[in-house]
Amino acid sequence: MNALVLSAIFGVVMMFSGVVFQKNAAIKTTGIVAMILLFLANCMEMRGIKFFKFDVSGFMAFDSYALFFNGIAIFATLIYLLITSNQMEKVGKNFADYLALIFFIIAGITITTSFKSLLTLFLGIEIISIPLYILTGSDKKNLKSNEAALKYFLMGSFSTGIMLMGIALIYGSQGTFTIDKMDFVLSAKSNLHIAGMLFLLFAMSFKASVAPFHFWTPDVYDGAPTVFTSFMATIVKAAVFIGFVRLFGGAFGRLEETWSIWVAIMIAATLFVGNITAVFQQSVKRMLSYSSIAQAGFLLFGVYAMNDAAREGLLIYSAAYCLATIGIFAVLSKMTDYSFEGFNGLAKHQPVLAFTTTICLLSLAGIPLTAGFLGKFYMLKAAIMTGHHLWLVIFAVVMAAVSVYYYFRVIQAMYFKEGLFNLLRPAALKNIR
């Protein structure tokens, strides 16, 4: 609750900071300080200190799991702001507005991760989506950015429509929006209920860019300004997955037999499409957007397994994935050449930067002694614990091995290939140092 209310307030504060302060540096400082306060407020709530005593028990439940994830999300956003806010200034004139939108997205995330009623879920998802449409199109003069925003908006609103339809069907069959009441009302599987569930499954899959609903992802991630792609592909996506697990564990737990096979097939499809397509990319940015689809496949194991190991794993996985991807995007946003060749010889000129990127890539590939390995480990463990569909797990590890191919291409370019490394902008060079 602390984080929800405060992030909304800070969002408004950021909007006015654009009017009050003339310099971007002041706005940036305000934003970072606000984010730190937000993080502290969330930590306080985890310790039981609540600033706001509204009764929202019918709509939202701020349990420890949700609060923990909110902590991760806010922390990752803080890191994100610290690393990339310089790049953000370059996107356009409205720096304060971008920060404000990010705070509003955080508000949406806190709703999505702690919803208790389908209506709040809908609100949360929409509060996340609308600022994202704007951020995608924030590079106003760039045709690609505009195209991406329009595409994202059209597809996104379509999926929102499907989601509402699903919620309506479920309300029709259950007579309630509250997820924990559904389990008790449910006695027989009604077709209405199952249809509603499938609609929700599809809509959530769209938001989480799970195949076969992933088609918007590469175009939007590629078209959006790199700084915002980084935010969309990591924190927002992880939050949608937390909502996903909450929805399917809470509302449809009894129907697991019906949907688990659907989810299993979707995992296989997502891993396949994401990894295989990423192999053929020539641009690191596009590779990362396909890799984010592939990683969504692993995150979806959390929905599929739906046991304690999966819940823990989802937190570890999303934290590891967010930090590693933010790191790589931060490096990428400083490059002028997004192709693999653009990374040639980076290790020679920027050894520390190259080493950090390598660690991030190793983490994404799931090499032991990185957080990414622990995430994958938990996900696989959770999936094996369910006791069926061992083929899915084997398929997933084969695909993880495929992912090594494209992550290591970047490492190879940085360390083993010679390159004329004059592609970094002089100004950006100063920032790195």
Partner 1 sequence: MGILNSSFSLSADGMGAMLCMLTGISFPLIFVSTWNTLYKKANNFLGLMLLAQAGLMGVFLAMDALLFYFFWELALIPVYFICSQWGGAKRIKITFKFFIYTFIGSLLMLVGILYIYSKTNSFDITAFYNSNLPLKEQMWVFWLFFLAFAIKMPIFPFHTWQPDAYEQSPTAATMVLSGIMVKMGVLGLLRWLLPVLPLASFSWGDTVSTMAVIGIVYASLIAFQQDDIKRLVAYSSIAHIGLMCVAVFAENKSALQGTMIQMFSHGINILGMWIIVEIIERKFGTRKMSELGGIAKKAPVLTIFFFVIAFANIALPLTNAFIGEFLMFNGILGVNPQISKYGIPLAVTAGLGIILGAVYTLKMARKVFLGETNSLTEKGTDIAFHEKAILGIIAVTIIVAGVYPQPLLHSFEDITNSILNKSDVLHLLKSAKH
* Nearest approach, Cβ of residue 385 and partner 1 (Å): 5
Based on CB atoms, which residue is closest to partner 1, 154 or 394? 394
Q: Which residues pair with 23 in a beta bridge?
A: none
Q: How far is the C-alpha of 45 from the C-alpha of 60, rounded, in Å?
A: 15
Task: Give residues in contact with partner 1 (CB under 8 A).
Answer: 367-369, 377, 380-381, 384-385, 387, 390, 393-394, 397-398, 400-401, 404-405, 408, 412, 415-417
Based on CB atoms, which residue is closest to partner 1, 276 or 390? 390
* Nearest approach, Cβ of residue 246 and partner 1 (Å): 23
* Nearest approach, Cβ of residue 423 and partner 1 (Å): 21
Based on CB atoms, which residue is closest to partner 1, 385 or 429? 385
* Nearest approach, Cβ of residue 376 and partner 1 (Å): 9
Based on CB atoms, which residue is closest to partner 1, 261 or 369? 369
Based on CB atoms, which residue is closest to partner 1, 82 or 401? 401
* Nearest approach, Cβ of residue 404 and partner 1 (Å): 6
Contact 216, 160 (CB under 8 A): no
Q: Name the helix (H) or strand (E) containing 104.
A: helix 95-113
Q: How far is the C-alpha of 339 from the C-alpha of 344, rounded, in Å?
A: 10
DSSP per-residue string spanning 207-235: HTT-TTS-THHHHHHHHS-HHHHHHIIII
Which residues lie closer than 8 Å to 301 by C-beta, 6 or more apart? 267, 310, 313, 379, 380, 382, 383, 396
Q: How far is the C-alpha of 421 from the C-alpha of 354, rounded, in Å?
A: 13
* Nearest approach, Cβ of residue 401 and partner 1 (Å): 4
* Nearest approach, Cβ of residue 420 and partner 1 (Å): 18
Q: How far is the C-alpha of 92 from the C-alpha of 140, rounded, in Å?
A: 8
Based on CB atoms, which residue is closest to partner 1, 150 or 404? 404
Based on CB atoms, which residue is closest to partner 1, 192 or 384? 384
* Nearest approach, Cβ of residue 389 and partner 1 (Å): 12
Look at residues 243, 249, 253 and name the one whose alpha carbon lies nearest to residue 208.
243
Look at residues 97, 114, 121 and name the one whose alpha carbon lies nearest to residue 31.
97
Single-letter code of the amino acid located at 81:
L
Based on CB atoms, which residue is closest to partner 1, 200 or 300? 300
Single-letter code of the amino acid located at 114:
S
CA 205 to chain centre: 12
